[in-house]
A and B are shown apart, each in its own frame.
Chain A
Protein backbone atom coordinates (compact mmCIF):
# COMPACT_ATOMS: atom_id res chain seq x y z
CA UNK A 1 0.00 0.00 0.00
CA UNK A 2 1.26 3.48 -0.89
CA UNK A 3 2.22 5.79 1.97
CA UNK A 4 -0.24 8.59 2.69
CA UNK A 5 1.20 12.08 2.21
CA UNK A 6 1.80 14.05 5.42
CA UNK A 7 0.01 17.12 3.97
CA UNK A 8 -3.12 15.06 3.27
CA UNK A 9 -3.07 13.57 6.77
CA UNK A 10 -2.58 16.95 8.46
CA UNK A 11 -5.32 18.65 6.44
CA UNK A 12 -7.74 15.76 7.02
CA UNK A 13 -6.96 15.88 10.74
CA UNK A 14 -7.74 19.61 10.80
CA UNK A 15 -10.98 19.08 8.84
CA UNK A 16 -11.96 16.20 11.14
CA UNK A 17 -11.35 18.30 14.24
CA UNK A 18 -13.35 21.24 12.85
CA UNK A 19 -16.17 18.88 11.85
CA UNK A 20 -16.22 17.52 15.40
CA UNK A 21 -16.41 21.01 16.92
CA UNK A 22 -19.09 22.16 14.46
CA UNK A 23 -21.05 18.95 15.07
CA UNK A 24 -21.01 19.64 18.81
CA UNK A 25 -22.26 23.15 18.04
CA UNK A 26 -25.06 21.74 15.88
CA UNK A 27 -26.08 19.30 18.62
CA UNK A 28 -26.19 22.23 21.05
CA UNK A 29 -28.43 24.19 18.66
CA UNK A 30 -30.81 21.21 18.37
CA UNK A 31 -30.77 20.89 22.17
CA UNK A 32 -31.57 24.57 22.68
CA UNK A 33 -34.40 24.38 20.14
CA UNK A 34 -35.78 21.35 22.02
CA UNK A 35 -35.60 19.12 18.95
CA UNK A 36 -32.75 16.90 20.06
CA UNK A 37 -33.20 13.14 20.00
CA UNK A 38 -31.04 10.14 19.09
CA UNK A 39 -31.81 10.50 15.36
CA UNK A 40 -30.00 13.87 15.38
CA UNK A 41 -26.89 12.24 16.85
CA UNK A 42 -27.00 9.34 14.37
CA UNK A 43 -27.61 11.68 11.44
CA UNK A 44 -24.76 13.90 12.53
CA UNK A 45 -22.43 10.90 12.82
CA UNK A 46 -23.38 9.74 9.32
CA UNK A 47 -23.14 13.18 7.68
CA UNK A 48 -19.95 14.23 9.49
CA UNK A 49 -18.26 10.88 8.86
CA UNK A 50 -19.04 10.97 5.16
CA UNK A 51 -17.92 14.62 4.89
CA UNK A 52 -14.51 13.81 6.40
CA UNK A 53 -14.23 10.58 4.37
CA UNK A 54 -15.05 12.54 1.20
CA UNK A 55 -12.28 15.04 1.98
CA UNK A 56 -9.79 12.26 2.78
CA UNK A 57 -10.59 10.42 -0.47
CA UNK A 58 -10.16 13.68 -2.37
CA UNK A 59 -6.78 14.14 -0.68
CA UNK A 60 -5.71 10.63 -1.68
CA UNK A 61 -6.75 11.30 -5.28
CA UNK A 62 -4.86 14.61 -5.32
CA UNK A 63 -1.78 12.86 -3.89
CA UNK A 64 -2.02 10.25 -6.63
CA UNK A 65 -2.80 12.78 -9.38
CA UNK A 66 0.08 15.22 -8.77
CA UNK A 67 2.64 12.64 -9.88
CA UNK A 68 0.74 11.78 -13.09
CA UNK A 69 0.80 13.40 -16.51
CA UNK A 70 -1.51 16.41 -16.98
CA UNK A 71 -4.20 14.57 -18.97
CA UNK A 72 -4.15 11.53 -16.70
CA UNK A 73 -4.39 13.77 -13.63
CA UNK A 74 -7.43 15.52 -15.10
CA UNK A 75 -9.28 12.29 -15.79
CA UNK A 76 -8.28 10.79 -12.42
CA UNK A 77 -9.82 13.79 -10.64
CA UNK A 78 -12.99 13.64 -12.75
CA UNK A 79 -13.49 9.92 -12.05
CA UNK A 80 -12.81 10.39 -8.35
CA UNK A 81 -15.23 13.33 -8.19
CA UNK A 82 -17.92 11.24 -9.88
CA UNK A 83 -17.58 8.40 -7.36
CA UNK A 84 -17.43 10.77 -4.38
CA UNK A 85 -20.50 12.60 -5.66
CA UNK A 86 -22.31 9.26 -5.88
CA UNK A 87 -21.28 8.53 -2.30
CA UNK A 88 -22.72 11.87 -1.18
CA UNK A 89 -25.97 11.27 -3.09
CA UNK A 90 -26.38 7.81 -1.52
CA UNK A 91 -25.65 9.27 1.93
CA UNK A 92 -28.17 12.09 1.49
CA UNK A 93 -30.85 9.72 0.18
CA UNK A 94 -30.25 7.22 3.00
CA UNK A 95 -30.32 10.09 5.51
CA UNK A 96 -33.67 11.27 4.23
CA UNK A 97 -35.31 7.92 3.49
CA UNK A 98 -34.28 6.02 6.65
CA UNK A 99 -36.18 7.23 9.67
CA UNK A 100 -33.42 6.55 12.22
CA UNK A 101 -31.51 9.54 10.80
CA UNK A 102 -32.64 13.14 11.14
CA UNK A 103 -32.47 14.47 7.57
CA UNK A 104 -31.25 17.96 8.54
CA UNK A 105 -28.57 16.47 10.77
CA UNK A 106 -27.32 14.38 7.83
CA UNK A 107 -27.27 17.19 5.24
CA UNK A 108 -25.80 20.07 7.29
CA UNK A 109 -22.51 18.32 8.30
CA UNK A 110 -21.72 17.75 4.60
CA UNK A 111 -20.95 21.51 4.48
CA UNK A 112 -18.68 21.50 7.54
CA UNK A 113 -15.39 20.99 5.60
CA UNK A 114 -16.23 24.13 3.57
CA UNK A 115 -16.83 26.09 6.78
CA UNK A 116 -13.59 24.69 8.25
CA UNK A 117 -11.62 25.89 5.21
CA UNK A 118 -13.20 29.35 5.41
CA UNK A 119 -12.31 29.46 9.12
CA UNK A 120 -8.71 28.46 8.40
CA UNK A 121 -8.48 31.28 5.84
CA UNK A 122 -9.78 33.80 8.39
CA UNK A 123 -7.41 32.51 11.11
CA UNK A 124 -4.40 32.60 8.76
CA UNK A 125 -5.30 36.16 7.74
CA UNK A 126 -5.43 37.22 11.41
CA UNK A 127 -2.07 35.55 12.13
CA UNK A 128 -0.48 37.33 9.16
CA UNK A 129 -1.89 40.68 10.34
CA UNK A 130 -0.41 40.11 13.82
Chain B
Protein backbone atom coordinates (compact mmCIF):
# COMPACT_ATOMS: atom_id res chain seq x y z
CA UNK B 1 0.00 0.00 0.00
CA UNK B 2 2.84 2.37 0.92
CA UNK B 3 4.59 1.64 -2.38
CA UNK B 4 1.38 2.44 -4.23
CA UNK B 5 1.01 5.75 -2.38
CA UNK B 6 4.62 6.69 -3.14
CA UNK B 7 4.12 5.68 -6.74
CA UNK B 8 1.04 7.90 -7.01
CA UNK B 9 2.99 10.82 -5.51
CA UNK B 10 5.90 10.36 -7.94
CA UNK B 11 3.57 9.86 -10.90
CA UNK B 12 1.52 12.92 -9.96
CA UNK B 13 4.65 15.06 -9.64
CA UNK B 14 5.98 13.90 -13.01
CA UNK B 15 2.60 14.47 -14.65
CA UNK B 16 2.35 17.93 -13.08
CA UNK B 17 5.85 18.82 -14.28
CA UNK B 18 4.95 17.72 -17.80
CA UNK B 19 1.74 19.76 -17.74
CA UNK B 20 3.64 22.81 -16.44
CA UNK B 21 6.05 22.62 -19.37
CA UNK B 22 3.12 23.05 -21.80
CA UNK B 23 3.42 26.73 -20.89
CA UNK B 24 6.83 26.66 -22.59
CA UNK B 25 5.08 26.51 -25.99
CA UNK B 26 3.32 29.86 -25.51
CA UNK B 27 6.34 32.18 -25.51
CA UNK B 28 7.66 30.57 -28.72
CA UNK B 29 4.40 31.25 -30.54
CA UNK B 30 4.10 34.74 -29.06
CA UNK B 31 7.66 35.72 -29.94
CA UNK B 32 7.18 34.36 -33.45
CA UNK B 33 4.07 36.51 -33.94
CA UNK B 34 5.78 39.59 -32.49
CA UNK B 35 8.76 39.22 -34.82
CA UNK B 36 6.49 38.61 -37.82
CA UNK B 37 4.63 41.87 -37.09
CA UNK B 38 7.93 43.67 -36.56
CA UNK B 39 9.10 42.46 -40.00
CA UNK B 40 5.91 43.94 -41.42
CA UNK B 41 6.47 47.26 -39.59
CA UNK B 42 10.12 47.49 -40.69
CA UNK B 43 9.06 46.68 -44.25
CA UNK B 44 6.67 49.65 -44.15
CA UNK B 45 9.10 52.02 -42.37
CA UNK B 46 12.71 50.85 -42.73
CA UNK B 47 14.02 53.93 -40.88
CA UNK B 48 12.37 52.73 -37.64
CA UNK B 49 14.34 49.45 -37.57
CA UNK B 50 16.39 50.38 -34.46
CA UNK B 51 13.39 51.45 -32.38
CA UNK B 52 11.31 48.44 -33.44
CA UNK B 53 14.14 45.98 -32.69
CA UNK B 54 14.78 47.52 -29.27
CA UNK B 55 11.10 47.47 -28.24
CA UNK B 56 10.67 43.96 -29.56
CA UNK B 57 13.71 42.67 -27.67
CA UNK B 58 12.22 43.93 -24.42
CA UNK B 59 8.83 42.44 -25.30
CA UNK B 60 10.34 39.08 -26.20
CA UNK B 61 12.30 38.97 -22.94
CA UNK B 62 9.12 39.64 -20.96
CA UNK B 63 7.18 37.01 -22.95
CA UNK B 64 9.92 34.49 -22.26
CA UNK B 65 9.56 34.86 -18.49
CA UNK B 66 6.29 32.93 -18.66
CA UNK B 67 8.20 29.91 -19.91
CA UNK B 68 10.73 30.42 -17.15
CA UNK B 69 8.02 30.36 -14.47
CA UNK B 70 6.78 27.06 -15.93
CA UNK B 71 10.33 25.71 -15.91
CA UNK B 72 10.82 26.59 -12.24
CA UNK B 73 7.49 24.97 -11.30
CA UNK B 74 8.43 21.82 -13.25
CA UNK B 75 11.84 21.66 -11.57
CA UNK B 76 10.29 22.10 -8.13
CA UNK B 77 7.80 19.31 -8.92
CA UNK B 78 10.58 16.97 -10.05
CA UNK B 79 13.31 17.68 -7.50
CA UNK B 80 11.66 19.14 -4.39
CA UNK B 81 8.01 18.05 -4.16
CA UNK B 82 8.46 14.22 -4.24
CA UNK B 83 10.83 14.17 -1.23
CA UNK B 84 8.64 16.58 0.70
CA UNK B 85 5.41 14.70 -0.01
CA UNK B 86 6.92 11.27 0.73
CA UNK B 87 8.26 12.61 4.04
CA UNK B 88 4.81 13.95 4.93
CA UNK B 89 3.29 10.56 4.04
CA UNK B 90 5.83 8.65 6.13
CA UNK B 91 5.28 10.99 9.09
CA UNK B 92 1.51 10.54 8.81
CA UNK B 93 1.92 6.74 8.82
CA UNK B 94 4.34 6.80 11.75
Contact = CB atoms under 8 A, between A and B. Distances in A.
Interface in B54-82: 54, 56-58, 60-62, 64-65, 67-68, 71-72, 75, 79
**Chain B contact surface mostly:** helix
Interface string A47-69: 00000001100110011011111
Given A8-B57, A114-B61, A66 B28 contact: no
Contacts of A8: 53, 57
Give chain B's interface residue range (CB within 8 Å of chain A): 20 to 34
Contact of B39 (A73, A97, A110): A73
B57 A107 contact: no
**Chain A contact surface mostly:** helix
B56 to A, nearest CB: 6
Interface residues of A, number: 44
